[in-house]
């Protein structure tokens, strides 16, 4: 009888142990399934391509940076006269392809002056090269190209006396007032810039 009881107790213990082990396997499988789902979800998020705002890069020509530093700052009249151009920038100003015009004459500054003007330096184009510089009337205009009626190509201008032919283009470009012209003082024989180049009052 005692042996039967021991046998029953042993069978009960084995059954309980099996049940306990079975429960542990189920829990492990559930835990693994949850972990796999989490990992899967994480992979989906990590693998998604990041969304970034589109960017636009516009190339700026070197001339567009350097050209505004060039300015006509003095016109000397007469046979020995000249148009003087200053580089107001902090770096060398490239002159190749920059046109100085007094209708109907125009010259490429890269050819008549050289390749560059150093920072703070000036260069001169003589009256003969400009077709004469008469105190009675004339003009000097700076262009980025030989497109003389295009207001997008002109970036410097001054007119005196009876003027010339490019004032309307300069007015359209917003660098010279409509109908304005400087009256040179005969005592000086020149006009010089002391301020805003687009303001005739800055020239004397």
pTM: 0.67
How far, in Å, CA of 42 to CA of 173, rounded? 59
Q: What is the mean pLDDT of the chain?
A: 78
Q: Phi and psi of 202, rounded to 5°? A: -85, -5
- Taking only the tens place, the pLDDT of each residue in 97-153 is 999 999 999 999 999 998 899 999 999 999 999 999 999 999 999 999 999 999 999
How far, in Å, CA of 114 to CA of 123, rounded? 9
Q: Which helix (H) or strand (E) holds 144?
A: none
- Taking only the tens place, the pLDDT of each residue in 145-184 is 999 999 999 999 999 999 999 999 999 999 999 999 999 9
Q: Look at residue 60 and tell me whether its pLDDT is greater than 50.
A: no
Q: Phi and psi of 110, rounded to 5°? A: -65, -30
Give 63-202's CATH code, choosing from 3.40.50, 3.30.70, 1.10.150, 2.60.40: 2.60.40
Q: Domain residue spans in the chain?
A: 1-48, 63-202
Q: Look at residue 94 and tell me whether its pLDDT is greater than 70.
A: yes
* Token output for 71: 């300015």
Q: Look at residue 86 and tell me whether its pLDDT is greater than 90.
A: yes
Confidence of residue 17 (pLDDT cuts 50, 70, 90): very low
Q: How far is CA 20 from CA 23, 34, 130, in A?
A: 5, 21, 107
Among positive and negative, which fits the CA dihedral 131, 137, 142, 143?
A: negative
Check: CB of residue 82 under 8 Å from CB of residue 124. yes
Residues of 87-101 as b/e, b for ≥16 C-beta within 10 angstroms? bebeeebbbeebbbb
pLDDT for residue 24: 43
């Amino acid at each position: 009888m005692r042996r039967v009881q021991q046998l029953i107790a042993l069978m009960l213990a084995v059954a309980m142990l099996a049940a306990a082990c079975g429960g542990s396997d189920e829990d492990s499988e559930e835990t693994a399934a949850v972990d796999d789902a989490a990992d899967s979800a994480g992979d989906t998020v990590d693998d998604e391509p990041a969304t970034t705002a589109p960017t636009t890069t516009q190339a700026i020509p070197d001339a567009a940076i350097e050209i505004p530093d060039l300015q006509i700052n003095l016109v000397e009249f007469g046979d020995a006269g000249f148009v003087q151009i200053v580089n107001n920038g902090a770096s060398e100003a490239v002159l190749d392809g920059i046109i100085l015009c007094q209708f109907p004459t125009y010259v490429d500054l890269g050819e008549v002056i050289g390749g560059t003007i150093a920072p703070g330096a000036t260069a001169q184009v003589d009256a003969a090269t400009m077709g004469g510089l008469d105190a009675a009337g004339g003009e000097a205009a700076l262009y980025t190209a030989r497109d003389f009626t295009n207001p997008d190509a002109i970036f410097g201008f001054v007119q005196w006396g009876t003027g010339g032919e490019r004032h309307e283009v300069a007015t359209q470009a917003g660098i010279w007032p409509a109908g304005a012209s400087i009256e040179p003082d005969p005592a000086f024989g020149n006009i010089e810039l002391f301020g805003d180049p687009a303001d005739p009052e800055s020239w004397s």
